Structure 1
Amino acid sequence: MHLVPDVAAYLTGRWHVERAVYDLRAGTEGSFRGTADFTPDGPDGALCHTEEGELTWEGVGYPATRTLRLRPEPDGTATVTFADGRPFHDLDLRTGHWTTVHPCAADRYEGVFTAVAADRWHLEWRVTGPAKDQLLRSVYRRTG
């Protein structure tokens, strides 16, 4: 694992994203390929996290985007919110590894972040509940 004393400094820039998406209830799977940009967003040192690319599901491609906001804390950790300001999760990569939980209605999102190297990190979300039974595995590689 790669120790990350300042998560905002580590993430700033452009990353290539490859994500495998499994719907365990339906027995179907898909993939996402695109980019993730972490760019400065305001005077508080926050970063705008924008992902853009293509989601392929059962052989059909769809444009896909998402936007999050990462607010750094003085200790090198961060708080992540949705674009509209609703809380999502906290993020602490000082040991190179972080586990977090996000309740979404009756579903539960369990996230595992792993900083593998200075230019690569992994994210796995396991989603369980009455509405979803999914596994999402992402690999982020720094571009340029």
Structure 2
Amino acid sequence: MGEYWPVPDVLAHLAGRWRVERVVRDLAGGHEGHFAGVTAFSPLERGLLHSESGTFTWQGVARPAERTLRFLPGRAPGTADVRFADGRPFHELDLSSGRYLADHPCSADLYRGEFTVLDADRWRTVWRVGGPAKDLLLVTDYAREG
């Protein structure tokens, strides 16, 4: 894909509710899982609270799944400082070009993310996770609700 949708203000763009579809591939074991749900970006005193909930199906077993992140104003105008729910740093996010690459070292693993904005109402994340016990690919598509 060569064309991206530039986003001058990440927090303003993400605010609201998004339908989420995620495919999780275990590249070493050959298994594939699917997540379907909703992500809501709701206002915090400073930034947005990212609340994701839905159903994750892995090897035929469906379970409820959720996660929470905090998207805070970044160092530059229009960017975000993404943090885990407990405040630990996750990664920065700058979509001013419509595309951003982020790394997150986690113990012995490295999470390498690519964020692309497809248009005003669709964006995608692709995370490649590598480490001694992990070889995963997570592709998530977001579509604005409403």
Fold conserved between structures, TM > 0.5:
yes
Pairwise CA RMSD: 0.7
* Identical aligned residues as a percent: 56
Task: Show the counterpart of 1:106.
Answer: 108
- Give the Cα separation in 2 of the matches to 1:131 and 1:84: 25
Task: Show the counterpart of 1:18.
Answer: 21
Runs (5+) with no aligned partner, structure 1: none
The question of 1:32 aligning with 2:63 is answered no
Runs (5+) with no aligned partner, structure 2: none
- Give the Cα separation in 2 of the matches to 1:114 and 1:138: 11
| Most deviating of 47-56 and 69-78 | 69-78
- Give the Cα separation in 2 of the matches to 1:122 and 1:107: 22
1:1-144 to 2 correspondences below 5 Å: 1-42=4-45, 44=46, 46-73=47-74, 74-144=76-146
Q: TM-score, normalised by structure 2?
A: 0.95
Post-superposition offset of 1:25: 1.5
The runs of 4+ residues in structure 1 deviating greater than 2 Å are none
